[in-house]
Structure 1
Amino acid sequence: MTLQDIDKSRYRRHLNRVFIGSALALAAFSLGISQLLIALFPDPDGSHFHWNLLGVVAGALLVGAGLSRLRRHPFMTEVVYVWELKQRLNKISRKRRQVEAAAQQGDETAMQVLQFSYAGSRQLWLLDDNTLVMDELAARQTELNNLAQAHGVTLDAERYDESMLERF
């Protein structure tokens, strides 16, 4: 995955619309399906929990299918990019201990993975206005830069490939 420049205002606007649209669609589908099931299969006891639950599950599946189909629409470009970036960073986080240990030993691949992780996290946190931990990230980046310089490694987040994680 290559890091891309994202227009923050466009991303936030599209994310909000996708979120609100998904929530409204989920509510409408859930209520509609539940009411249809209750009308078709009434319960003499008046308990319709199972039909309501089935309506919510079916609504969630329909919204998920809709988002999946709209994934390649130009409106979704920034939102899908951020979703995919979060998935990549999550995969790195699961192997962070092994990657950091290998980087301390001078492993160039581990350093490139960390560089991508730090660059992606910085971009993600700036897009989401989560600047509370930016100082910690800057300290880690400085530590990585010093480590790379000590081992003669040139860091480049663009060199990251998901297959690099298979080693750890």
Structure 2
Amino acid sequence: MKLIDIDKTRYRRHLNRVLIGCALVLAAGSLLVSQTLIALFPSPSESHFHWNALGVLVTAAAVGLGLSKYRHHDYLTEVLYVWELKQSLNKITRKMRKLEAAANTGDADALQVLHYSYAGSRQLWKLDDNVIIMDELNTKQAQLDTLAAKFNVTLNVDDYDDRILKRF
């Protein structure tokens, strides 16, 4: 996955609208489905938990299908990009110990993956206004730059390919 610059205000506006829309559809749809089921299949015990749960499940599935169908719509471009970036960074994080160990021995692929991870994390944290630990990230980036210089490795975010992770 390539890192791209996105407009932070557009991303936040679209994300908030998508989240609010999903919540409203989930609430209204769940009520509609469960009340319809309760009216069609009344229970003498007055417990309608199973109909309410089914209403939530059906509506959640419908929301999921709707988001899946329209995931490549222009309105969701930034939201989808950030979602995919988070997935990509999570894959790297799961292998971080092995990557850091390999980077310390001069493995160019490990250095490249760490560089991508730091750049992606920096972008993600700026988009989400989560800059509390940015100093720690800058320290790690400086250490990575030192390792890259020591082993004569040129780091470029655009050279990252997630297939590299299979080695670690």
Q: Which band: TM-score by shorter chain?
A: over 0.9
Work out whether 1:23 is the aligned partner of 2:23.
yes
**Which residue matches 1:6?**
6
- Rounded to whole Å, the distance in 2 between the matches of 1:93 and 1:109 is 15
- Rounded to whole Å, the distance in 1 between the matches of 2:31 and 2:161 is 43
1:29 deviates by 1.2
**Which residue matches 2:49?**
49
1:36-76 CA distance string (max 9 Å, x none): 11111111010000110111111110000000111010000
**Which residue matches 2:138?**
138
- Rounded to whole Å, the distance in 2 between the matches of 1:99 and 1:60 is 37
- Rounded to whole Å, the distance in 2 between the matches of 1:64 and 1:55 is 14
Which residue identity is paired with 2:96? R
Q: How does 1:1-168 map to 2 (within 5 A)?
A: 1-168=1-168
Bigger mean CA offset, 80-89 vs 34-43: 34-43
- Rounded to whole Å, the distance in 2 between the matches of 1:43 and 1:84 is 44
1:70-124 CA distance string (max 9 Å, x none): 1010000000000000000000011111111111111000000000000000000
Structure 1 runs of 4+ aligned residues shifted over 4 Å read: none
1:28 deviates by 1.2
Q: Percent identity?
A: 63
- Rounded to whole Å, the distance in 2 between the matches of 1:159 and 1:31 is 49
TM-score by length of 2: 0.99
Which residue identity is paired with 1:138? N
C-alpha RMSD over aligned residues:
0.5
TM-score by length of 1: 0.99
The number of equivalent residue pairs is 168
